Amino acid sequence: MPHTYSACLVHCVFSTKERRNIITPEMRGRLFAYMAGVARGNGIGAVAVGGTRNHVHLLLDVPPTVNASKAMQLIKGRSSRWIHETFPSQAGFEWQEAYGAFSIGTSQVARTVDYIERQEEHHASRPFEDEFLAILRKHKIDHDPQHAWG
């Protein structure tokens, strides 16, 4: 797309199926690097990738040729297959079907990156479910608290 300029920053959040605590510390660095590589390989900027034992946060710069749904399909699908191939002991690994995708402005990038990088520290005192509901409220998204995270 010549002469097309875009800054579409999207903070994406999703968890393991049933929010199982199965993303081990040994997996995390490699998994997050792999997810960033999948994004970049599809023309999606991976500004930050992080998370904890049961969920992932990504800050993506999504080009006009890819929507957030396609980005999630690519990243979740390929990373799930990679986990099965790389960590045979994780044969039952699955991502939840649902995800959250929240637009942010360029002025929020540094704060969002810091938030993503501090997930372990953040979740020492706040469970994922509370965090996700707070993000929905912050973005004024109507939701059913019983089904907010898929």
Beta strands in 1-150 (DSSP E): 9-15, 45-51, 55-61, 100-104
What is the per-residue burial (b if ≥16 Cβ within 10 Å, else e) of 111-139?
ebbebbeebeebbeeeebeebbbebbeee
CATH number at residue 125: 3.30.70.1290
Q: Is there a domain that residue 3 lies in?
A: no
Q: Is there a domain that residue 150 lies in?
A: no
The arithmetic mean of pLDDT across residues 37-54, rounded, is: 96
Number of domains making up the chain: 1
Q: Is there a domain that residue 147 lies in?
A: no
Q: Is there a domain that residue 33 lies in?
A: yes
Q: Is there a domain that residue 75 lies in?
A: yes
Q: Is there a domain that residue 149 lies in?
A: no
The model's pTM is 0.85
126 Cβ contact list (under 8 Å, min separation 6): none
pLDDT at 118: 86
Domain that holds residue 92: 9-138
pLDDT at 145: 62
